[in-house]
Amino acid sequence: MSTITKSYQTLVGKLEEISHLNGVMATIGWDHQVMMPSGAAEIRSEQIAALAGVIHERMTDPHLEDCLDVLKEENITSLSKIERCNIIEARRNVTLEAKVPKRLVQEMAKLSSQSHLIWVAARQENKFSDFAPILKRFLELKKEWAQCVFPGMDPYDANIDNFERGTVKDEITPIFARLKDELIPLIKAVQDSSYQPNTSFLHGKFPVKKQEMLARQISQDIGFQFDQGRMDVSVHPFCGGSHPTDVRITTRYQESNFIESLYAVIHETGHGLYEQGRMLEGRSLPASESLTMGIHESQSLFWERMIAQSKPFCSHYFETIRATFPENLAGESATSFYQAINSCKPDFIRVEADELTYPLHVILRYEIECGLFDGSISVDDLPGIWGELMFKYLGVKPPTDTLGVLQDSHWSGGAFGYFPSYTLGAIYACQFYRSMVKELPDTEENISTGNFVPIKNWLNEKIHCQGRLCTPQELVMQVTGEKLNPDYFVSYLNKKYTEIYRLS
């Protein structure tokens, strides 16, 4: 056995062990948000901190570095593309991890565990002051982390890179400025339109058990494998899990609104399909992992926005939905349902926002995070700044912190730099969909008949199975023939909402 082969096999064994430990961390993180009794919060934070320390030790194991020293770029030309990718990704991860002190890793993990329940309580009690100290400490830790891993980089750019590798503020800011210029006037035109779709039938009493059955059926129809995943309830919908064979999606239910839970399930199913569709080779190795959060978000928004909010989808599922809630939807049609679920109404909550106002929710958070990191915004001033920006961009002002600055869970986990991924994902999704329709011209007919297999297979082949074999920029070029282009997203929104609201 050659030295290269032996070193690679040793590397794989160590990487698989790290992946399994990360899987355990993901599972107890899921339990923390879904099933854990509140009284276990303190011990759970200690458990998470201990496990984070173990993972850090494995990542900084000298033997791992020894393997990587042997597997230098000039020595691995005979290996496969996937094997070389595993080595490159492992080297990057090990290099970054080695720069972070174990103390900092453990403190961030412990604070994340503790802060989630503090955020939940602050949100329930409408007391931002209870959460503010946590937020201040997390900002300090994330700035320290940025200085460790990317000492020459702007701290917020370093945090963005954690989710959108290779992307910086200088690229995001012009895209978001363009969206503000286009969408704020369009939203105003929609609000001023003399034609407003009827949405009253979407409000009423919708039994949760029926909501659960409908959501599960549609999730399964579009391809989620429940023998390798499950669906539960959490405060904030998310997709997690430990492995492509153990994917966990969650939603939340309100008896007065079935659309929120249904489309949250479809959104999280999109994430789940990405995880379940990862390459079959080396599923516990870096090459098989999802690319960036923006690409991941493109898959959830692809299914939620491009597919499930389309006319063909509404046409296919309307009778099923009406049969589930006959008292509420009596006398309605697939067309009225399509218009209702795509209605535009600026409101307070990001996860309940329509696709036209949603980007402005993201831009608001992005601009606030930029300010928090460069010092132009203080944590204590956040509620007021949040309200000012909401009014400036969407014409509404949250009456409480619960409906404003406390609504998202991200900051309780220290996930700064994550929010841009949502709107980058929407732009990716629109561009991917456009390319798919070119290659699969029967797409709309397939959706209208409930045949989602060609769509799922196309996404598996073009995106899910690609793992980390190329950069996000290379993937977009590979799939669409051009770099990320927000023009398609802007045109899509203009065309769709001009038609629904009869603006021309």
- Per residue in 160-188, pLDDT (tens digit) is 999 999 899 999 999 999 999 999 999 99
Task: Measure the CA–CA gap between 66 and 49, rounded to whole angstroms.
Answer: 27
Do 228 and 244 form a contact (C-beta atoms < 8 A)? Answer: yes
The tokens of 179 are what? 């969206």
Please report which confidence band the pLDDT of residue 157 belongs to, taking 50, 70 and 90 as the band edges.
very high
Residue 433 has φ and ψ, to the nearest 5°, of -60, -45
Task: Measure the CA–CA gap between 361 and 358, rounded to whole angstroms.
Answer: 5
Give the model confidence (pLDDT) of 57-82 as tens digits. Answer: 999 999 999 999 999 888 888 999 99
Give the model confidence (pLDDT) of 103-123 as tens digits. Answer: 999 999 899 888 988 999 999
The tokens of 370 are what? 């930029």
The tokens of 485 are what? 């282009």
Q: Which residues contact 390 (CB under 8 A, 6 or more apart)?
A: 348, 364, 396, 397, 398, 404
- The predicted model scores a pTM of 0.92
pLDDT at site 352: 85
Task: Measure the CA–CA gap between 425 and 172, rounded to whole angstroms.
Answer: 12
Average pLDDT of the residues in 341-348: 96
Q: Which residues contact 419 (CB under 8 A, 6 or more apart)?
A: 362, 365, 366, 369, 410
pLDDT at site 1: 65
Average pLDDT of the residues in 338-356: 94
Q: Which amino acid is at 132?
A: A
Q: Which amino acid is at 306?
A: M
From 268, 289, 297, 355, the catalytic residue: 268
Task: Measure the CA–CA gap between 154 and 152, rounded to whole angstroms.
Answer: 7
268 is catalytic: yes
| Sign of the alpha-carbon dihedral angle for 361, 363, 368, 369 | positive
Average pLDDT of the residues in 446-455: 98
Element (H, E) at 232: strand 229-233
